[in-house]
Structure 1
Amino acid sequence: MEGDGFTMTWEVRSVNSRHLDVKWRLPVMVRSAEARFEKVVRRFATRGRVDVSLNLQVHKAELMAVTFNASQAGAMLDQLGAFAASRGEAFAPDYNRLLGMGFLWEDSGAELDEVFVSRLEEGLAGALQDWNLSREAEAVALEKDMLDRIARMEEWTALINERAPQIKEDRFALVRERLREVLARNEVDLEEQRFLQEITLLSDKLDVSEEITRLNTHLVRLRELMQSGGDAGKRLDFTLQECFREINTCGNKIQDPQISHVVVDFKNEMEKCREQVQNLE
C-alpha cells in the first residue's frame, strides 16, 4: 500500500495454537506503535500463532523517528579504510549499504506522526482482511471434508444399531448350545430358570442402545456446530471426544468381527476429524 511519502508491505502468517500469540517483525522506527497494531490484530483473530512483518520504505525524512549512529558508522568505516590501506588497496565506502544496517538506526524517542500510524493501521487491517479471506476459503474445504466424514459415521452408527439385536440373539443361541453340550457331558438337565438368569445378565452386557442414542445425539451436535459459525473448534473437539467414548464402549460390548471393523473405521474417521478441527477457529 502506498502512503504519503512511504510504501508499506504487510505480511501475515499463521499456524495452529490454542491461544492468540502474535509475533512481530517491525522496523525500528515504528516499534513504539506495536501496542496499537496488536489491537488491530485482535479485531481479526481470536487464536493461533500469528507472525506479522512489515517492510517499510520511507521517502520523507520527517516521518523517520530514528537517529543514525554516526559515531559507530564512522568507526566501522575507519577500520575498513585502515584494513584496505594495510593491503595497499583503495577504499571507497558504499554509503547505501549503511541504510540496510538496522543496528545503526535507533529509535529517537520522538512521537510518530498520527496520520502516518493511522495509515499503517489501515494497511495492517487490509492485510488481515485478506488473511481471513484465505482462512475462510480453507474453512469451506474443511467443512465439506468434515461433513462427509460425519455422514459416514452416521451410516456406521445405523449399521451398528441394525446389527446389534441380531448379534445379541446369535450370542444367546450360542450360549444355550454350549450350555447344553456341557450339561449333556455331565448328564445334567438345563434349568430354564437358571438359563434365563444368565441370558438376562448377558443381555445387559451386550446392550448398546444407550450408547447408540448418545452417539446419534453427538453426531447431530457436530453438524449443528459446523453450521453455527463463531469459534466452534474447541466445542467440536470436545464433542468428538464424547463420540470416541461411546463408539469405544460399543466395540467393547459387541464382540463381533463385522462390528469390530466398523468400530476401527469409525475411530479412524474421528481421528482425522480431530486433526481437521485443530485448523478451525
Structure 2
Amino acid sequence: MVKSMTGFGRGCYEEENFSVTIEIKTVNHRYNETAIRLPHFLNPLEDKIRKTILASVSRGRIDVFVTARYTNQDAVNVTVDKALAAAYHNALREVGDAIGIPSPSISEQAEVLYLARCPEVITTKEGLFDCDAYWPKIKQAVDQAVEALVAMREAEGKNIGADFHKRLDLIEQNVLEIERRSPQVVAEYQARLNERLDALLADKKITADPDRVLQEVAIFADRVAITEEIVRLKSHIRQFRLIMDAAQPVGRKLDFLVQEFNREANTIASKANDFELAKIVVDVKAEIEKIREQVQNIE
C-alpha cells in the first residue's frame, strides 16, 4: 500500500487532575529517525511512546511533542524542619540580645514569618508521578495521534498512487510507440544504405552486392536492437503496479524499480540512433523522473 511519509496527528486525554496532548509530525527521510520531546516526569514512558508509534510508522523523520499537566495536590508534600527552626529561633534571640533588643520586643508574628523564610525550614516536594498507572490513559492519546497520522499518510499516499498509475500509463503508451518505431529504424537504414550505394556506384555502372548489404543491415539491426530492454521495462512496470498494492511498506522497492526504469530507458536512448525514438525516450524519462521524485516521499 502506498503511504506518504508526510503527515500529522494529534491526540488528547483529559481528566480533573491530569491532561496530556500528543502531537506527531512526520516528513520524508531515508531511514527512521524519531525525536520525542516530553515533560521530565514522563521521561520513563519515552520508550513505550516510541514503540507504540513505530508499530504503525516504519520510515521517515518522526517528531513527537508531548505536553502534560498534573495538578494532584495530594502528591505535594510540605515538611517543616523543627530542629532547624528552633536553631534559627535561638540564633535570632542571641542576635537581639547582642544588639540590645530584648526578646519580648520581637513580635511573635514577625519572628514566625522570618523563620519561615529561612533556608530549608519549610520545604515542598512533589510526589512521584505514577507512570505505570497513567500509561493506559497516555496511550489513549498516543493511539489517537497515531490513528490520525496514519489516516493522513494513507490519504496522501492514495493521491500519489493515482498519480503513479497515470505516469505508468503514459510510459506504457510511449513504450508501445517505441516498439512500433523500432523495426522502421532498421528498414529506413537499409533504404538509406541502398540509396548511398546506388549513388556511389552509378558512375561505375556496377551494382552493390545484395548479400553484403544484408550483412551490413544485420549488423546495424543487432547494434540497435532494443527488444530485451522493452521486455524488461514492461516487466518493471507490471511489478511496480503489483508492489503498490502490497500490505507492507513499499517505498524502498519502488525506489529500486525506478532506478531500473532509468537503466532501461538510458540503454534504449543509447541504442536508438533515430531522432523519433530519441524524442519518445525523452518523454519516457521525463515521466520516470516525476515518479522518482514522488517515490522519495513513500514509506
Output the TM-score relative to the length of structure 2: 0.74
Q: Does 1:2 align with 2:14?
A: yes
1:138-186 CA distances to partner (integer Å, 9 max, x unpaired)? 0111110110000110110111101111122111111221233334466
Query: Given that residues 44 and 131 in structure 2 are in contact (C-alpha distance below 8 angstroms), is that contact kept between their aligned partners in structure 1?
Result: no
Q: Does 1:136 align with 2:154?
A: yes
Q: Displacement of 1:113 after TM fit?
A: 3.6
Q: Does 1:50 align with 2:62?
A: yes
Structure 2 distance, partners of 1:210, 1:217, is: 11
Q: Which amino acid aligns with 2:142?
A: L
What does 1:72-91 align with in structure 2 at a 5 Å threshold?
none
Over 3 Å counting, the alpha-carbon distance change for 1:62 and 1:240 in structure 2 is: farther
Structure 2 distance, partners of 1:197, 1:108, is: 94
Consecutive unaligned residues of structure 1, counting only runs of 5 or more, are 65-106
Q: Identify the residue that residue 138 of structure 2 maps to in structure 1.
A: 120
Q: Identify the residue that residue 29 of structure 1 maps to in structure 2.
A: 41
Structure 2 distance, partners of 1:125, 1:243, is: 39
- What secondary structure sits across from 1:207 in the alignment? coil
RMSD: 2.1
Structure 2 distance, partners of 1:225, 1:157, is: 21
Q: Which amino acid aligns with 2:249?
A: D
Q: Does 1:197 align with 2:215?
A: yes
Amino-acid identity (%): 31
Q: Identify the residue that residue 15 of structure 1 maps to in structure 2.
A: 27
Q: Displacement of 1:255 after TM fit?
A: 2.3
Structure 2 distance, partners of 1:225, 1:123, is: 33
Higher relative contact order (Cα pairs below 8 Å, separated by 6+ residues): 2
Q: Identify the residue that residue 107 of structure 2 maps to in structure 1.
A: none
Q: Displacement of 1:55 after TM fit?
A: 1.3
Q: Displacement of 1:195 after TM fit?
A: 1.7
Structure richer in helix, relative to its length: 1
Which of 151, 156, 159 does residue 174 from structure 2 map onto? 156
Q: Displacement of 1:120 after TM fit?
A: 1.2
- What secondary structure sits across from 2:21 in the alignment? strand
Q: Displacement of 1:223 after TM fit?
A: 0.9
Q: Identify the residue that residue 229 of structure 1 maps to in structure 2.
A: 247
Q: Displacement of 1:137 after TM fit?
A: 0.6
Structure 2 distance, partners of 1:62, 1:132, is: 39
- What secondary structure sits across from 2:55 in the alignment? helix
Q: Which amino acid aligns with 1:17?
A: H
Query: Given that residues 225 and 232 in structure 1 are in contact (C-alpha distance below 8 angstroms), is that contact kept between their aligned partners in structure 2?
Result: yes
Q: Which amino acid aligns with 1:210?
A: E
Q: Which amino acid aligns with 1:212?
A: I
Q: Which amino acid aligns with 1:166?
A: Q
Q: Which amino acid aligns with 2:33?
A: D
Counting matched residue pairs gives 239
Consecutive unaligned residues of structure 2, counting only runs of 5 or more, are 1-12, 77-124
Q: Identify the range of structure 1 (148-157 vs 204-213) with the bigger mean alpha-carbon deviation.
A: 204-213
Q: Does 1:251 align with 2:269?
A: yes
